[in-house]
Chain A
């Protein structure tokens, strides 16, 4: 590895850690929204380290989100904390080999709210917010067969560009809140074995060969979309939604994609302290 490359990786890691440590800074905890959702959907995974073919099946997802306003920028900056856990059970198109995949992503984001209201407590009809998030992912894809390449580890530490919009739909004096969010990883570091490198070399012998890579949309063109509808039911708020994730990479001539579409359901908990 070149020294410049090492500096770049270390720099990005430091910036990401700083962003993560900022999560407690400037929070006023007056307007807080907790949301927990669980979902099921469709999964499609390609990982050419393991197989040249797509594996498809069922995807399960759990998300825990906390949104709160901060005192930053005259109180126009909101903070989003998101834990996203997913697992998939797939099989090849011949139906004779199973694949199991799973991972956890944790992200902390800061959004500038363009409107008088905000995405946490949307008093306006429309609210728009955009910002940056630091996110980290750890996961694995395992194919149920013997051999020296049955599994592939996944890890990245990224800075994501993210934007969200809310729309307050009023029907019979009830407020139904639509929210859409898109996140795109723009820069960071990611792990990948080299094209034909074995995990024996990486972990037993401790050899590295371009295993920590600078990631950007050119080699990691990924997107995550989330659309939710909050439905008030007496004192509670039901949240239903759709999450689509398109995680892709082309590191060391290895192609990878993990597409998932999940229909989600859960509850919100609002905390307003005026």
Chain B
């Protein structure tokens, strides 16, 4: 009986020692959802410091200003509008609110700028006989310049696909990689493609993540290197990457990598940016929120959240469009032929 008593005392003391690990209970009112969204961003968003510097965004002031716009009489559509407007203060294409009836976004990074891309004209260069390797459309133009159209990094681009493509274009004097309008996808696919344009291991940037709830709780940036592709073909001739403002996220990272590659030249308009890796969370009412959580810097430890400047700026000429010519492709061909 003494043993049993001892055991019971031991169990009781263990139970008393343990506490529950819990989060605050949710409040699914309009005000509760507003507070939940503000808090998710406050504790997890990685660019507050930078956005304060560049845009003057003070997240506490944003709370004060928008809290007065929320009340329990508003309907879901009105609440959604207020919440989206609050998020739009950050001017971040990776910050979104998803409800069953709408997708909140701020795409001003490209909507407020000239498109510098005409799909129907670009298609004239590809014609009908182009080849496709895992989403990469490619053809040899009549002046012996290779043209590759890469619309997304969502496709499963692998070393084999890239090598087959580069083998097919091996006799070309230069290569154009047209990523205009590429809104991103998988970072690893962008890096796989870029790895075929270097023979050396290159420092291409740094990465830093949140280490706590504080707005400036960030880890010491760690270097990111681009290793040369170990399998297949590596391109040794000049290559031009065509960019516009709709180049975003993983495509922005591709440009960041290509900037360091020895034979690469970036031509076009600045990219749209999007250098934060997005994470997802949710609100008490079930709406999903996406936010930038991890910062990617360039090789000089600069932010690329608002884009990367090209080596040679370009814009589409109205006269060229009237003649059904793509200024970007024509200038790139000229550049590559002159750099033979």
A255–B277 touching, CB < 8 Å: no
B233 at the interface (CB under 8 A from A): no
Contact indicator A197/B209 (Cβ below 8 Å): yes
Taken together as a complex, chains A and B put the C-alpha atoms of A221 and B20 apart, in Å, by: 8
Contacts of A212 in B (CB 8 A): none
B10, CB-defined interface residue at 8 Å: yes
Proximity string of chain B (29-50) to chain A, C-beta cutoff 8 Å, 1 when within and 0 when not:
0000000100010001010000
The number of chain B residues with a CB under 8 A from chain A is: 46
Interface of A is mostly: loop
Residues of A within 8 A of B322 (CB): none
B209:A198 contact, CB within 8 angstroms = yes
Task: State whether the Cβ of B285 lies closer than 8 Å to any Cβ in chain A.
Answer: yes
Answer whether residue B210 sits at the interface, using C-beta atoms and an 8 A cutoff: yes
Q: Contacting A252 at CB < 8 Å: which of B15, B22, B211, B278?
A: B211
A253 to B280, CA, bound (A): 17
Given A130-B7, A146-B280, A255 and B26 touching (CB < 8 A)?
Answer: no
- Smallest Cβ-Cβ distance to B288: which chain A residue: A145
A196 contacts B284, C-beta separation under 8 Å: no
Quick check: which of A9-17, A68-76, A89-97, A231-239 contacts chain B, the rest being far away?
A: A89-97
Tell whether B224 is near chain A: CB-to-CB under 8 Å. yes
Query: Is A92 within 8 A of B282, CB to CB?
Result: yes
Chain B contacts of A130 at CB under 8 A?
7, 10
Closest residue of chain B to A225 (Cβ to Cβ) is B11
Q: A196 contacts B11, CB within 8 Å?
A: no
Q: Write the nearest CB–CB distance from A95 to chain B, whole angstroms.
A: 7
B14 contacts A182, C-beta separation under 8 Å: yes
Q: Would you call B44 and A196 a contact (CB within 8 A)?
A: yes
| B302 in contact (CB, < 8 A) | no
CA of A240 to CA of B277, assembled, Å = 49
- Interchain CA distance A248-B211 in the complex, whole Å: 20
Check if A66 is an interface residue, CB within 8 A of chain B.
no
Q: Across the interface, do A196 and B46 meet the contact criterion of CB distance under 8 Å? A: yes
CB of A51 within 8 Å of the partner chain: yes
Given A52-B281, A196-B279, A198-B277, A204 and B188 touching (CB < 8 A)?
yes
Let me know if B19 is at the binding interface, CB within 8 A: yes
B7 in contact with A97 (CB, 8 Å): no
User: Judging by beta carbons under 8 Å apart, are B18 and A201 in contact?
Assistant: no
- Residues A255 and B21 in contact, CB atoms below 8 Å apart: yes
Query: What's the nearest-Cβ distance from chain A to residue B61, in Å?
Result: 23
A201–B279 touching, CB < 8 Å = no
Whether the Cβ atoms of A149 and B279 lie closer than 8 Å is yes
User: Is A249 a contact partner of B21 (Cβ separation < 8 A)?
Assistant: yes
Which of A95, A150, A182, A249 neighbours the largest number of chain B CB atoms within 10 Å of its CB? A182
Residue of chain B at shortest CB distance from A167: B4
Contact B21 A195 (CB under 8 A): no
Tell whether, in the assembled complex, residue A94 and residue B284 are in contact, meaning their CB atoms are under 8 Å apart.
yes
What are 18 A-B interface contacts by the 8 Å CB criterion? A53-B284, A97-B288, A126-B1, A145-B280, A147-B279, A148-B279, A163-B11, A165-B4, A196-B44, A196-B46, A196-B294, A200-B187, A207-B207, A209-B211, A209-B219, A221-B17, A253-B213, A255-B21
